[in-house]
Structure formats: structure tokens, C-alpha cells
Structure 1
């Protein structure tokens, strides 16, 4: 069995005598390539596979948690996804989207694959499997505590059998979750679930086959989880499932009468109303601990062993309730708004303990927001560096997609850099520190993180400043990860910000680490000159900032034309060197640009001889008819903070 943590954690707090505190994670449970041989897929099959994976990822956003289809005629691909019955639509879509990217990696060059995550299953094959059960192979995971007496084994088996019966009734949709009182102080929870392409009879057959295997592997443990390609059973002493709209309350205990059930439901309602103060108190303590950066699990972890087998993205991202978000932002009031962009709106929030947060709320009308949201979770939650903004939590309640970041009080670099008054406080020492810090952040993305990450939207408005004016790179909505050995990628839809995009990216859709190097070079020159490299020519010179900097540097007059605000603080040799480094980064041919490791070295070593830069890529004009502009406005937005989406010809 392979069990690996990925990037979701769930946060549930209840109090008043019944206390359930649990941090859950979306866990990779296993994969199976169904004994298919590893050989290159035909072009037609690969094309159909790509289509069906894309279909599953998008369909999960609007379905009821399950669907299957086939694509192609002669090289047909059959595909299916199935989310656990207690999982809400937004969690289902995220899980399926992630699984659709991971499945081909788990079974490379295979025509069939099954991948199981804790909240969803995804499967594809060159043969139809709809409605067919799989009871071999199976996987299982065990808790750390053993059963103390055989009475629990007997009652636990009876409990699971009752859930199987209820799940295979017509009204229960092939899954059921419930609990029973083992004693006055102990409770047991369980869930059974089948792939919803199965009939009731086939589901019962699959679950009963799994239950039979528990006698050999699992029943002596208090917590266990067993599953095959088409069904699963889980049993635990902690409530591990989520109460979604379909399961708004716990199913009744097997030991309860109707009268007891009614009394219990009334009690739960009273408890739910009464616990809000306790929730706020617990959240305050939690966030205080998080601010102290306690890295251990504060809540009880999943009761299963987690075995790390390969280098992969792993994190526990807390889920914060929507009620807490609403309280912290005064119901998303206009007074709390920090800015607005293509993704949505960013608000300042204050938690009950006084902690300040930045709340990024996905707009329901954002065309690309869902993908950006997934990127933010996948990248920022797994990247840890002093020069990258820190993602604290997320919220997915009531169809909201919300990210919670550390709050950086000094706003973004463009807020200061392109304002005549605020720029006066930016002396050369501070600007050089921002250049160095930003360079180190990009170097981490390119070479020091677990995978190579291309940011694709590096600009002054995406460099935030903390209390001490240290830079932190933000907004990973357009970021892409490269596989080991991959040098560049090509896209038919160019996304970025005008004035910062490398020419090969704008014209051909090619992006690589050198694309970020180009953007960094533009940023360096903007910091030194205090001017924007927007699409508009500099009126007094009739040329772009890049060309202007290159010509004045070549003529030995660059110190005469830098930002006048620096005249009392600059060190001539340092500024000349930084201008030269910036010009090396914006050269037209990507192969001529340095890597970020070379940039960091050049910035740190003032005796290192630098090569002479070639002509910069100053002309990156695009036909207006080819460009879709998404305006990003905020209280203090820069004029060149304009996202560009370009559809390239096929």
C-alpha cells in the first residue's frame, strides 16, 4: 500500500461535551495499472486519453460526484470518476482535477490506470469496465490501536453489514455512513461506498468480498480502511467523514430507538447553536499557534500510517470556516477591500485574536479563476521560502473558493515605486535589497524547490513587502511546474502582463525559466529608473524603458538618467552593475539570458566580470485583435498591471 499526503486539510471544531477535533488530509491511497504493458501510446489513443482526462476534470465541477463516458471509435478510451458520497462538489472537482493529472504519471505509457485518493477515484482503460466489479487487488491501511476484546470485533462486523444493507437499498445511492455507541464513553464510525456505475447487487457483492478479507488483515485494529477498484469500507473510532448537504446529520446509531433519535437530533441542534463562542476561542488559539509556526500536528492526525515513498508535493493546509472569514472581513465590506483582479477580490481580515490576514476571494464570474485557485493551492502551499508569500489556509464552504494569506502591511512594490511621493522613501540600499530578495525567491522556484516552477507573471504588483520591506513574490495563479529534465513548454493561450512577457512567450507561446529571467530584468530596470515598462513609449524619449536603458548604458550616461530620487543615496558602481545585469536578463534571445543562479552570483560578487549585453527585446507589440485584456483595478494599481490572454494560431 502507498499512502502519501497531498495538499488539503480539513478543519472541524465542535464543543460542549461532544468534542471532535480533527485535521484531515487528502491522501493518495494507491494506484493500479491493471497489468498492462508499458509501451508508447498511439497518437490517436493519447489524444483521446487527453480529452477524457480533461472532460473528467471539468465535468466534476457540475456533476453530483460521479460520471463516466467514452471517447473515440477505433481507439476508444473509457473513463470514470467517482467521489466519496460525503464530499461536496468543490472538493470533488479539486480531487478529480488533481487525479486526472496524476493518473498518467502513476501509470506512464499504460492504456489503463486506476488511482485512489481519500476523496475520489479515477479510472480509464481501452476496454469498457462500466458496471463490472473489481475485488482484486485490494489495499488496506491500519490504525495504531488494537481491539481490546472480541465483543468489538463482533459488533463492528454487524455494524458494517448493516451499512452494506443500507447502502444497497435504492434510496442510498451505493454509499452509507453511520456510527454506533460501543459503550457509554466510546463511539465507532463507519462508511461503505461503491462505484456508482454498479448495480445494487454488484455493490453488495463487492463490499461483502472486502468484509470477508478484513478477518485476515484488519479486524484486530480499532481503525482500518480497505478498498478495491470499485468499492471501499472504513471503520474508525473518530468521525472521519464530512457532513455535506446530502448528509447534514449523523445517521442514527444502530442501538437507538426512534425516540432516542429524535432526542439526539434536538440535542445536536441545541449544541450547534451554543458552540459558536467555543469555536471562535479555539480558532484564536489555533491561529496563535500557527503564527508561532508550530510545525507539528496540533490536531489528532488521521488514524492511518502515512508512508512516504517518492518525492511529491505534501502539505497540510487548514480549512477555515466561512463564518470566520465573514467575521474577519465584516462580511466582505468595501472598507476591507485591498484590491481586485481577474481572479477576484482581496480583503483585509482581522481574526478574533487580532491576527491580520489577507483574504483572496475567487469571483464566481472569473473565467480562469478556478484554475488559478488550484494553482495557488498546489504551488504556494508547497513552497516555503522567506521571499515567497505564505499561504495560511483556505475556505471552500457554500461554493466559495477563498485563500487566506499572511497579511503584508506595506502592500506591493508598485504601490511605492511608481508614486512620486512614496518613492522618495526608497533609497538605493532598500531597492538593492528588494532586487536581491526577489532574485533569491525566483532562484528557489527554478532550482531549489522539489520541482522547477515557472511563475509566468512576475511584476512589480506581484512583489509584496513585509513589515521590514523585505520582498515576497505572490500570485501563482499562472505558475507551471516542469518535470525533471524538461527545459521549456509551449501553450496556445498566452497569459501574463503586458510589458513583462518575454518575446518568445508572446509570439510563440514558449515559456521556460528564461521567461521569468526576462520579467526579472524588466523589474530590475523599473526599480532603478522608477518608471514602468508599459506598452506606451516614454513620451519624452519616444522609446521603451528597455531600449532607453540600453542606449544610455552603452553611452556611459546611465547614472545621469536613473531615478532622481536616488541621487543622494546611490553607489555608482552598484547601480551600473545592476543595470547591466538587468539588460543581460532582457536580451531578445532567451539563450543569451543568464540563469537565476548566475544572476544571484553576479549580484553578490562585485568583482565578477560581466558579459556585454546584446540588444534588448524592446519591441513586443501584438495585434490588438489577437489580445484579450482583463483589467486589474485596485486602490493603488499601476497602469501596466494589465493581464494579457493571447490565443495563438494553431
Structure 2
């Protein structure tokens, strides 16, 4: 039996409200039902919808399921969100709700292919990490890798995971994901801003925005076999760190090219 989705946070400002039993509310119910149906039909973990013809009754909505969850888990999460968001945000015109397994949001303004980093929230372990200097170096290198791979989204999903050795007995597990409607440069910008906002010196942490999310832990929290079926991680993640400088130089060059920014020629590698 699938466990219930794990609620994390919701956001619905009181600055924009709709009138009960209005056309907006009717359109909202239609929108949420449409998204729940799309999740049940199996849409690769992401779908968007628009309901209504003209402002102020037109709505835009989307959902994003975590890249490693199956269709049943995704569908259950979106269906739960469909009910939950109406209880937590009964008359707000803009709302977003996050679960461990998915995110669901709607707005009276267009949100498709729009990179948004607010609202955001973070979660982190209360325990501090031992040897924080070494940990932050390993975390930084691993995050650099998944930021680049998630942005490209070769699997059709803009998601990437990686694991790295922190000590001989401990591994670091990381995940980055964007909504797949974003351009490469937008996903990269969102993810790197999320990386910068992650808690420092903690044993684990997450940061969520409407467009992307990041997470790191010292234990496996994603379905590794499901992720491996998407795009296998590069073999160098498990190789010695002697070539870290060279890899980072190549990564930064690729990121500049993906963002269509004119970059200067890199110096020859040692």
C-alpha cells in the first residue's frame, strides 16, 4: 500500500482573494481536476493546464512530481494536493503546496515557462556535520555536477542525482530538479540560487521554490534504480578526486555555453 504523501509547506497570500461560488472558484475546481487526471494518466511527472478565457477568471496551474517516483505515487500526491490546497487556501487566487513527492500550484497569472524563485523555504537537520570544511568541498563538487545535468535534462525530466564519498563509511546523496518547462539557463540559475541558499554545516538540508528544488542527505532518500533508468550518472563521480579542478573547469565552460553567454577561451589544462 502506498503511504500518504508527506506534506511539507504551503503558501497562499491573503493579498489576492476570490469570491465564493464565483466563476474563478468554478474554474479552479476544473483546473485541479484536470491536473489530477493528467497525473493519473501518467504524464512523466509534470503537466500544466489553463482554464478560463479572460482575466480575472482565467487560471493557470501545474504540478511536478519528484523525478524518481512512479506514476501511482505521483498521482496519489497530486490527488491529495488537489483536496489539501483547497482546505489550506480556501479563497486565495494564488497558491502552491509542497509535499516530499510532488508540488502543485495555481495562479491568476501565467506561470508556464516562467522561472520563479519565490516563495522559497528550507529545511535542515539540527545536527552539525563533522569536518565541515571537507564536507562543504565534497558537497560543492557534487552540487556542481547535478546542477549541470539537471539543467540539460537529457531524460526529458530536468532532474539529477549523485552520490559521493564523504568518509570511508559515509556517503553523501544529492538531488536537484526543475520544472521541465524552463530553459537550460533558467533551470541552471534557479538551481544555483537554491544551492547558495542551502544550510551550511548541517548533516542534511533542502530548499524548495516554485521552479526548482535541491536536497542533500547522508542517507539514500531517492529511488536510485528509478533514477538510473533515466540517465546513468557519469562514471567520474566515483573516481578519485585528482582531476576535480579539470572537471570543474569543463563544467563551468559547459554552463556558460548552455546559457548562451559569450565566454572567453579557457586556459590549457595541466
Is 1:54 paired with 2:33? yes
**CA offset at residue 144 of structure 1?**
3.5
Distance change in 2, residues 1:248/1:103 (3 Å): same
**CA offset at residue 106 of structure 1?**
1.6
Match of 2:247 in 1: none
Match of 1:105 in 2: 87
* CA distance, structure 2, for counterparts of residue 136 and residue 57 of structure 1: 24
User: Secondary structure of 1:26's partner?
Assistant: coil
* CA distance, structure 2, for counterparts of residue 253 and residue 30 of structure 1: 36
Distance change in 2, residues 1:140/1:162 (3 Å): same
CA deviations over 1:462-500 (Å, ceiling 9, x no partner):
xxxxxxxxxxxxxxxxxxxxxxxxxxxxxxxxxxxxxxx
**CA offset at residue 204 of structure 1?**
0.7
Is 1:95 paired with 2:74? no
Match of 1:200 in 2: 184
TM-score computed with the length of structure 2 as normaliser: 0.80
Match of 1:152 in 2: 135
Match of 1:221 in 2: 202
TM-score computed with the length of structure 1 as normaliser: 0.34
User: Greater relative contact order: 1 or 2 (C-alpha under 8 angstroms, separation 6 or more)?
Assistant: 2
CA deviations over 1:539-565 (Å, ceiling 9, x no partner):
xxxxxxxxxxxxxxxxxxxxxxxxxxx
Distance change in 2, residues 1:49/1:118 (3 Å): same
* CA distance, structure 1, for counterparts of residue 47 and residue 38 of structure 2: 8
**CA offset at residue 43 of structure 1?**
1.9
Match of 1:233 in 2: 214
**CA offset at residue 85 of structure 1?**
0.6
CA deviations over 1:191-231 (Å, ceiling 9, x no partner):
001112211111111111111122xxx12101111111111
Distance change in 2, residues 1:142/1:92 (3 Å): same
Assess if the C-alpha contact under 8 Å between 1:180 and 1:254 holds in 2.
Answer: no
User: Secondary structure of 1:40's partner?
Assistant: coil
User: Secondary structure of 2:92's partner?
Assistant: coil
* CA distance, structure 2, for counterparts of residue 104 and residue 59 of structure 1: 19
Match of 1:211 in 2: 195
Match of 2:166 in 1: 182
Structure 1 stretches of 5 or more lacking a match?
1-6, 10-24, 259-650
* CA distance, structure 2, for counterparts of residue 90 and residue 244 of structure 1: 17
Q: How many residues align?
A: 234
Structure 1 or 2, whichever has the larger Rg, is 1
**CA offset at residue 255 of structure 1?**
4.0
**CA offset at residue 244 of structure 1?**
5.4
User: Secondary structure of 1:60's partner?
Assistant: helix
Alignment of 1:215-364 (within 5 A): 218-243=199-224, 245=226, 247-248=228-229, 251=233, 254-257=236-239
Is 1:37 paired with 2:19? no
* CA distance, structure 1, for counterparts of residue 227 and residue 173 of structure 2: 17
* CA distance, structure 2, for counterparts of residue 191 and residue 252 of structure 1: 15
CA deviations over 1:593-622 (Å, ceiling 9, x no partner):
xxxxxxxxxxxxxxxxxxxxxxxxxxxxxx
**CA offset at residue 145 of structure 1?**
2.5
**CA offset at residue 44 of structure 1?**
1.3
Match of 1:81 in 2: 63
